[in-house]
Amino acid sequence: MKTSQATALIRTPLIEWSRPQSWCDLGCGSGTFTTALAQLLAPGSTIHAVDLDQRALERIPDQYDGVEIRKILGDLRSPSLRLPSVDGVLMANSLHFIQEQHLFLRRLLSVTDRFLIVEYERSRPNPWGPYPVDFERLRELFRESGVERVERLATHPSRFGGTMYSAFAEQSRA
């Protein structure tokens, strides 16, 4: 996927892009969605890009469009992974690798109350997505975690067949 396509998938008026923010990109790979997020964020923002592949992290720039990118080598599934408190978490094609998804999302609620999710619209497991998260399943997972607002943003054809979707989720601030 091209960065411009990734940007179109995650762009939403539900986020105030004009002020500097701090985000985590969990399972960032070589950074397609990291740079897409950086294009949307205001200069002075920070992205914590997390992946377990050191080579992939090395392909991500340290800065993009005035946004600092801090690379963190780590496994999302590890309970020892420490994440900073942030304005939001982006997970693009990574939630389907997490077995205990509801517990993982609850853990993430300790660092943020806003999420951008990109996943495949499929419910059957395969070797590349062992724990699929179609949009209805995503809504269930967030509701189980106490997050009521989950909105589909956009869809995009997957080069692997089927469709990818993006979603925004936000926990009410009480």
Name the nearest CA neighbour of 88 among 59, 32, 120, 45: 45
Low-confidence ranges of the chain (pLDDT < 70): 160, 173-174
Q: Convert the pLDDT of each residue in 65-91 to its tens digit.
A: 999 999 999 999 888 889 999 999 999
Query: What does the block give as tokens for 46?
Result: 């920070």
Percent helix, strand, coil in the chain (nearest 5)? 25, 30, 45
Burial of 63 per CB tally in 10 Å (0-12, 13-18, 19+): exposed
For residue 38, give every residue at least 6 positions away whose Cβ sits within 8 Å of its Cβ, in sequence order, or none.
Answer: 45, 47, 64, 65, 67, 69
Q: What is the CA radius of gyration of the chain?
A: 15
Torsion of CA 64, 69, 73, 76, to 10 degrees: -100
| pLDDT computed for residue 122 by the predictor | 87
> Taking the alpha carbons of 95, 132, 11, 35 in that order, is the dihedral positive or negative?
positive
Q: Convert the pLDDT of each residue in 92-110 to its tens digit.
A: 999 999 999 999 999 999 9
CATH code reported for the domain at 3-170: 3.40.50.150
